[in-house]
A = this chain, B = another copy of it.
Amino acid sequence: MMLGIDFESSTPIYLQLREQIVKGIATKRLAPGDSLPSVRQLASDLGINLHTVNKAYAMLKQEGFITLHRQKGAVINSPDSFKTSDEYLKQLCDDLEPMIFEALLRGINEQEFSIVCSDIFKKIGGEKS
């Protein structure tokens, strides 16, 4: 599992970490039961702070994506355990809305926006190695 961190990005490292792992699960490169590297391991691999990895793991745990075992470290949960919640759906809409407003303002209509999304889905499909 390759984790690429962009140290110049404005999105915090721990969030990038979380995103990458989420991405790994979504694309099946990380299957349920798989273990993530230990906090120390990953931190030293990426050259980042322990706390940063910890924060990402804690977040993933809190969201139900992984389970933290004392010995086995971080383990990917079964996808069944984190189905769509109304709460999440609402969050998604709230995040999407301002993006769509801006897209509209920049001359992107519903159809074009749909194509952009579709392209991303396609790209993901291709990555499902």
Contacts and interface: CB of A to CB of B under 8 A. Distances in A.
Interface residues of A, number: 47
Contacts of A23: 98, 101
Contacts of A120: 93, 96-97, 100
Contacts of A95: 99
A100 B79 contact: no
A98 B99 CA distance: 14
Quick one: copies of this chain in the complex? Answer: 4
A62 B61 CA distance: 14
Contacts of A19: 98, 101
A103 B107 contact: no
A104 interface: yes
Contact of A105 (B79, B99, B121): B79
Interface in A49-93: 62, 65, 67, 69-70, 79, 82-85, 88-89, 92-93
Nearest to A125: B110
Interface of A: 7-8, 13, 19, 22-23, 25-27, 62, 65, 67, 69-70, 79, 82-85, 88-89, 92-93, 95-108, 110, 113-114, 116-121, 124
